Amino acid sequence: MKEILLLKDGEIVLKGLNRRQFEDVLKKNIRIALQSLGRFEITSAQSTITVKPLDEDIDLDEAYERASRVFGIVSLSRAALCDEKSMESVIATAPAYLEKQLRAAKTFKVEAKRSDKRFPLKSPEICRELGGVLLSKYPHLRVDVHEPDVTVYVEIRDKGAYVHADAIRGAGGIPVGTGGKAVLLISGGIDSPVAAYMMAKRGLKLTAVHFASPPYTSARAEDKVVRLLQKVSRYAGPMTMYTVPFTEIQEKLRDDCPEELFTIIMRRLMMQMSERIALDNDCSALITGESLGQVASQTIGALNCTDEAADMVVFRPLIGMDKQEIINISYKIDTYETSIEPYEDCCTVFTPRHPRTKPILKYVKQAQERAEFEPLIEEALKNLKVTQIYPDYLQ
């Protein structure tokens, strides 16, 4: 009995003439996610992607887990490929393949999807015949078409007949790479990895920028960011991380700028430097983890001052979320425990005692210009550290 994965397209089905392009990117992303497990045949037809292992020793449990994190898939199931596309083969396959689920259930129903209209039986006839076989094989079962403990699915497609039980929910969204490319400003906190996940779900290919200020920040703080991105990469795919040496810039900020404007000017500098990195990497947007009113640098006035520093669009997917909502997603994507490790990032260096919550852009720009940061910015951008990020299961 050959076991495969059936992956159902999500929003792709709503696309028009460019739907094939989305499907091709999705299949490419699935291949990248599974390539370390062995060889697979990946085909798409009728809003379903079929993933067939070509090696005997492939860990299908792991393949199933990885596929569940690929954006663009709305649901997925493990399924048995029947030896033949016939009702006899379906009847021979279903009771054995689904034995564990059926023995544990009290009620069931059968649903059939007959995409290949040449199949001699119609969907109700398939359900009736297979249901009768299952009732005789498992006499403890009874039929419940409204709320069954298990649903047995039969799919008759152009290239074969498949049997499976209930599907699980996929990652949803659209395939990474179909929405363009953007730079993520990432600290070591809870918010920015969640922002990365949410924008990758909308099809953005990510490049990460992290600011490090040794000796005020440690190598462990940078390693923490790498590990966070490795977890995000399960969903977003491989990415490049640029670490910006930020120490001299922050020290000049401390020495030459008004204390109450430290955070605003620092954020402006980060946006300007990230935009340059974005342009060098053919990216068209910036992503931050800011949430309106969460801290002093995230008031409307502060965000206006920050946005003015860059010409690119800035995506803030968390802007209307409260902290608990963000934490809930961080648990879902398994970044929370890493995010709360006590290694400080540069955003906590030289924190002002009384930050300005309603800064005036004219005075912020004047203070920044007087300090003449440009030579230090150019030097920092010449000394970027480049790290290639891959999902943590490949480490």
CB-based contact 181:283 (threshold 8 Å)? yes
The torsion of the CA quartet 257, 258, 263, 267, rounded to 10 degrees, works out to -40
Extract the tokens encoding 296: 């002093």
pTM of the model: 0.91
Looking at residue 353, its pLDDT comes to 73
Looking at residue 352, its pLDDT comes to 73
d(CA 89, CA 127): 14
What structural domains does the chain harbor? 2-169 (3.30.2130.30), 181-394 (3.40.50.620)
Mean pLDDT by 10 residues, the chain (395 residues): 91 82 94 94 90 93 96 95 94 96 96 92 96 96 96 92 94 95 95 97 97 91 95 97 96 91 93 97 96 83 91 96 96 96 78 79 92 95 97 82
CB-based contact 197:329 (threshold 8 Å)? yes
Please enumerate, as own/partner, the contacts of 141-146 that have beta carbons within 8 Å and a separation of 24 or more. Answer: 141/102, 141/105, 141/106, 141/107, 141/108, 142/106, 142/107, 143/107, 143/108, 143/109, 144/107, 144/108, 144/109, 145/109
| Exposed / middle / buried, residue 57 (Cβ in 10 Å: 0-12, 13-18, 19+) | exposed
Looking at residue 47, its pLDDT comes to 85
CB-based contact 224:232 (threshold 8 Å)? no
